[in-house]
Structure 1
Amino acid sequence: MKGKICKILTSVTIVSLLITGCGNTNKTVINESESQEVKKGGVVKQALTESPEGVFMPAFFTFNYDVNVNSMLYDGLLFVNDKFDFEPCLAESYKVSDDKKTITFKIRKGVKWHDGQPFSADDVKFTFDFVCNPKYNGQYTMYVKNIKGYDAYKEGKTNELEGVKKVDEDTIEITTTDIYGSGLLNFGYMMKIIPKHIWEKGDIEAVQKDTNLIRNPIGTGPFKLGKFTPDQSVELVANDNYWDGRPNIDKYIFQVVSAETVDAQLSNKELDIVSAGNLTKEEEENYKKQGFKVDEVTYNVYQSMGLNLKNPLFSEKKVRQAFAYALNREAIVKDVLEGHGEVANNPFPSNFWAHPEGLNEYKYDSKKAIDLLKESGWEYKESDKKMYCNGNPVKFTLKYTSGDDQKTKQALMMQQNFKDIGIELELQPLEFTTMSADVKKGDFDAYLMGMGNSNDADISANYLSTLTPPNGYNYTGFNSKKVDDMLTEGAKHLSKEERKPIYNEVALELNEELPAIYTYHWNSILIYNSNIKNFKNTPIGYYQYIKDWYIDGEQ
């Protein structure tokens, strides 16, 4: 049990879960408080298995657990709710131009930074200038490359970023070179705004190394940093002057714990929130008896068996479809995930807006798999129960991460499934860095890997034919003009209503072509103290409603 409960969900493949502490203006909130008195005060403690590095500046961080902290300290211009719709945050409104290349944000008045200084359009302009600076090389680069004039500014050919303009004290315009379908998400939500009066003080390379600056963050979020003790804890305190109202709880503590003690700490109510890898029904009931609730939600991530499409074995679509029928993915979800997930037949889970109707579910059917392979010219010999291609027994290697119990169990189940149709699947567990390097350079037959879709439907980085490594994550080498055209078209629209039918078609085409054999979408499982009210776990994360949490009962 100790190994399971402490398997905190990381961002290795879920880069997208950059959650926000933005307030609940115009949001649909939980209704527990309607029938109960909302109580003020109290402390919530969440378990982390590793210590944050202490990079409490969103444009610089690279480590997952710093995300947790930064999400409560900083806000973006917009908020994404649990329906994946945009709502106001530091921008009280936005407007998209007729040509869809310019987004105009009206900046919220009356917002203050944690040090009491007023927030303004100057901070927004500064944030974009900062991450487009020639000396900046952080993760926000991926969000701003489409801004008009980015290349010239990045190369130092001009001192003015053409595509970001402060129109007046309350208005910012961001213009892109071409229509940028992910613009609202990336400019408005993924990027958090940083204070000009703090970060304009020196050269970017110098301030990036300034521990005093980075570990004394000033944001606009619902919590402020109280104390950071490396390898022990991060203590956040409520922001009394938060623009959307002070949080109900006084403190939020990220407590660094070990797998050996986390169960005892939960039982003793020394911890309030733990993210679990898997739970059996028995374990779930046990926690409920101890006064905890168990909540889970499917995130916009998926596990798949990627195939090297340069390998002649995998070049025919019918062969890949046979593989999908050959894998008992329902059993994998049941046995590997303990039922905490769903079978995947495309990149998007069923609770995501781009998930289409009419998918081929490829229900487990080994006979159908054999028949499809025969139609592709392969031969199944009853004499030795083996499958042959061009007179040779079919055999290929599956690479996956060593030391990962779930992937190991899944690989063994897949090995048996392939054996049942006469194919020898050789398993090769590798350290993640080694496997990742092999996959990036195309040194594989097949691999097991989890992939994240961000909070957006634009999956170009994984499937566009021009975005094979090192330019993107199209590791399989998938090349489809039809998919390329649809992904290109999808990127020309900003509204979900316009984009939905396009990405529905992308998903259906991938479901037909199967550049990878999708296995499952997994759930985020949270165990939390039942005295925490208004708690809500969503496909985006669970911190965005934290301002409205409150504690009812003894701690």
Structure 2
Amino acid sequence: MKNFSKALLALMLVLVLALAACSGGDDQKDAGKEKEEGKTEQKEGAGEDAGEDAVADSPISAFDTRSETGEVEEGGTLNFGLVSDTPFEGTLNFNFYAGAPDAEVIEWFDESLLSIDEDFQYTQDGAATFEHSDDYKVFTFKIGDNVNWHDGEPVKAEDWAFSYEVIGHADYDGPRYGSDFTVIEGMEAYNAGEAEEISGIKVVDEKTLEITYTNPTPSLLAGGIWTYAMPKHIFKDIAVADMSSSDAVRKNPIGMGPFKVESIVPGESVVYSKNEDYWQGAPKLDEVVLKVVDPSVVANELSSGKIDVVDAFPADQYETNKDMEGVKFLGDVDNAYTYIGFKFGTWDKENAQVVYKPEESKVSDVALRKAMWYAVDNDAVGENFYQGLRWAGTTLIAPSHANFHDATIEAPKYDKEKAIEILTDAGYVDTDGDGFVEDPDGNELKLNFASMSGGEVAEPIANYYIQSWRDIGLDIELLDGRLQEFNTFYDRVGNGGNDDPEVDVYMGAWSVGSDVDPTGLYGPKAMFNFPRYVNEKNTELLEKGVSDEAFDVEFRQNVYKEWQQLMVEEIPVFPTLYRAVLVPVNENLLNYTIDRDDNFYRHEIGFKK
């Protein structure tokens, strides 16, 4: 699993995704980062070569993904920088967090029970092993005998089952419940209050859990299994509705990872100590100190030695800092993309579904959305603001998923005259001479654009998009006349189902889970479907992508090729940039990696002797 903030994921958020997290203009994190990863077997088909070709010429190919390896000095303190211009929210439990900054905090003290390989497939190398029936309906998991919580209690099958019971509960207020859970036998009846237990989840013995799926999908092999347990002995007496705000989540979280939480300064920093009882052996480091580092000072913090590594270095600062003394930059293609989204409706919290209301949307005309895509030069944005370490996006499956990303699809590229032509042909004409077009019915058209704050380039990039749209005659302004702080931005865009009607267009980012299935971001029952977009063909393709037939990888590739093409035609959102992730590491720090298949490595990190 990659150990930088991506995804957003969502993560979707869940997705997902969840929902990593990224900003509209810099390396901030998105609300949707999902950390559970997996992927179907790579075979010939619709995307493998195309996805690899999409990044073959990228500067990222010159970077290593690992620091120097070797024997380390026992002890010492690692100072880890979480790059953000805002505090982390502090929902420090995998079941409840929404933003990738919180995920970065959690990953130092808690972790998945299953590991993945370089192709995102679950393996038998984690704290738990598994087997499944020939029809994939029944999965049996076995937790290792030496896997314990930080308070010494063993991690049990009932803890893993409890995690599902919490997420599936009607009073659950987190973002995880979705299609990955509703495919479990009895889950929907439990969620609806029609059953007291989930019939498809069985605790066989203290260390063995069995899950039965009604409609198994290939996503089960690629991130579709929730692999995070909850310490039942701590949470059992807390009402589900109160869990996310409880001290067990906010102040005194525990996990099963290599480090324990010793102290928290809310939103600012966390001090961790080594977990001597870690299932892979005691960590080499004595202590990890995580602190939020503003993007504007991250280079100084690194060069002065105040921090040893950060989750992700702002790409816009790389050119002037690439030769920083005492630091090695690691790099890879990120599981993420930034995008422009359009708002079409709201979220029905009670029924957990999208309410699609195009008749009330200012951007319901696909011609308008297409013109807005043609009006922006994303290649120039990537080159000028990120030194080519970000590049123009084409489809909503990023090249990090090389065997599904289809780089042959022709997406709109910058053409200002074509954008104006599209608007004119669709009836968007300036009838009153103020320099801005009216809608086809002759009504005034004013759009609010939401974008989040971040590093130095966040504001100029937002201004660039606004000016590009104004140059083709669209009267569009920044929401409230300013950039939105990270948490405020996602709250207004739709996190938690809160859709601000003032938002018409927004710039966000997703750090995606490794399963290619985009249902968690664009499905009709996905809270992270922030555009609130519903389309019959979209739903049909998303369902086909996780059907029994989709266990055939070539079939699944073809489904998602068709889905990518549909999204280019429908444009509920359009991708702006794919991205590299850069992780600077103190050259004296050994065994640090961002390889996606090195899931459990933090106990091996240490400094040179």
Which TM bucket (shorter chain)? 0.7 to 0.9
Q: Corresponding residue for 2:583? A: 526
The answer as to 2:594 corresponding to 1:537 is yes
Paired residue for 2:543? Answer: 488
Distance 1:186 1:386, change over 3 A: closer
**Which residue in the other structure is 1:414 paired with?**
465
Q: Contact 1:102–1:174 at 8 Å: present in 2 too?
A: yes
Match of 1:247 among 263, 278, 283: 283
Q: Residue deviations 1:449-507, cap 9 Å, x none?
A: 3345444323234434x44xxx6444545454322211011132575836433223211
The correspondence for 2:317, drawn from 267, 280, 286, is: 280
Instruction: Give the Å deviation of 1:348.
Output: 2.0
Question: What is the deviation of 1:147?
Answer: 2.7
Using the alignment, how far apart are the partners of 1:378 and 1:65 within structure 2? 41
Cα distance in 2 for partners of 1:319, 1:232 equals 42
Question: Is 1:501 aligned to 2:558, yes or no?
Answer: yes
CA shift digits 1:297-317 (9 cap, x unpaired): 423232214265648986665
* Correspondence 1:552 to 2:608: yes
Following the alignment from structure 1 to structure 2, what is the Cα–Cα distance between the partners of residues 299 and 154?
31
Cα deviation per residue 1:511-535 (whole Å; 9 max; x = unaligned)?
A: 2332333222344433321222232
Alignment of 1:231-242 (within 5 A): 233-242=269-278
Confirm or deny that 1:428 pairs with 2:486: no
Which structure is larger by alpha-carbon Rg, 1 or 2?
A: 1
Which residues of 2 match residues 185-334 of structure 1 at below 5 A?
188=225, 190-200=226-236, 204=240, 211=247, 215-230=251-266, 233-256=269-292, 263-274=299-310, 275-286=312-323, 288-293=324-329, 295=331, 297-306=333-342, 310=359, 317=366, 320-334=369-383
TM-score, scaled relative to structure 2: 0.72
**Are 1:358 and 2:408 an aligned pair?**
yes
Do 1:104 and 1:173's aligned partners in 2 also have CA atoms closer than 8 Å?
Answer: yes
What is aligned with 2:4? none
Q: Give the counterpart letter for 2:129 in structure 1.
A: E
Q: Which amino acid aligns with 2:260?
A: K
| Cα deviation digits, residues 169-207 of structure 1 (max 9, x gap) | 55322123434554455663x541123344345655677
Could you give the per-residue CA deviations for residues 141-189 of structure 1, whole angstroms, max 9, x where no partner exists? 345344322244345544332110123455322123434554455663x
Name the structure 2 match of 1:148. Answer: 185
The answer to whether structure 1 residue 15 and structure 2 residue 33 are counterparts is yes
Partner of 2:58: none
Residue 251 of structure 1 deviates from its aligned partner by: 2.2
Please state whether the residue corresponding to 1:254 is helix, strand or coil. strand
1:272: Cα distance to partner?
Answer: 0.8
Which residue among 132, 143, 166 is the counterpart of 2:168?
132
**Alpha-carbon distance in 1 for matches of 2:78, 2:249:** 26
The amino acid across from 1:112 in the alignment is N
1:409 is paired with a residue whose SS is helix
Cα–Cα, structure 1 residues 248 and 115, in superposed 2: closer, same or farther, change >3 Å? Answer: same
In structure 2, the partner of 1:167 is: 204
Q: Distance in 2 between matches of 1:475 and 1:56?
A: 23
Provide the aligned length of Structure 1 versus Structure 2: 529
Distance 1:296 1:523 in 2: 6
Tell me how far apart the structure 1 counterparts of residues 430 and 239 of structure 2 sit (CA, whole Å).
Answer: 67
Seen in structure 2, the aligned counterparts of structure 1 residues 318 and 261 have a Cα distance that, compared at 3 Å, is closer
Measure the CA separation in 2 of the matches of 1:60 and 1:67: 10
Q: What is the SS of the residue equivalent to 2:465?
A: helix
> What is the identity, as a one-letter code, of the residue corresponding to 1:447?
Y
> Of the two structures, which has the highest relative contact order with CA contacts closer than 8 Å and spacing of 6 or more?
2
Give the whole-Å Cα distance in 1 for the aligned partners of 2:146 and 2:123: 18
Q: Distance in 1 between matches of 2:458 and 2:326?
A: 31
Residues 372-407 of structure 1: CA deviation (Å, up to 9, x unaligned):
5566567799x9998787596995524123655645
- State the shift of 1:209 in Å: 6.3
Q: How does 1:29-178 map to 2 (within 5 A)?
A: 36-48=70-82, 56-61=92-97, 65-88=101-124, 89-98=126-135, 100-133=136-169, 135-142=171-178, 144-178=181-215
- Hey, what's the Cα distance between the residues in 2 that align with 1:10 and 1:31? 23
**How far apart are the structure 1 equivalents of 2:271 and 2:224?**
29
CA distance in 2 between partners of 1:263 and 1:365 (Å): 37
Partners in 2 of 1:270 and 1:514 — Cα distance?
Answer: 44
**Structure 1 position 225, deviation (Å):** 2.6
Paired residue secondary structure (1:240):
coil
Cα pair 1:394 1:423 within 8 Å, conserved: no
Contact 2:90 2:250 in 1 (8 A): yes
Q: Deviations over 1:426-453 (max 9, x none)?
A: 2233344585269936555533333454
Task: Determine helix, strand or coil for the equivalent of 2:316.
Answer: coil
Q: Which moved more, 1:328-337 or 1:197-206?
A: 197-206
SS across alignment from 1:74: coil
- Aligned-partner SS, 1:248: coil
Q: Under a length normalisation based on structure 1, what TM-score does the superposition of the two structures give?
A: 0.78
CA distance in 2 between counterparts of 1:330 and 1:180 reads 37
Q: Which runs of 5+ in 2 are unaligned?
A: 1-24, 39-63, 345-357
Provide the secondary structure at the position in 2 that maps to 1:528.
strand
Q: CA deviation at 1:65?
A: 4.2
Distance 1:480 1:281, change over 3 A: same
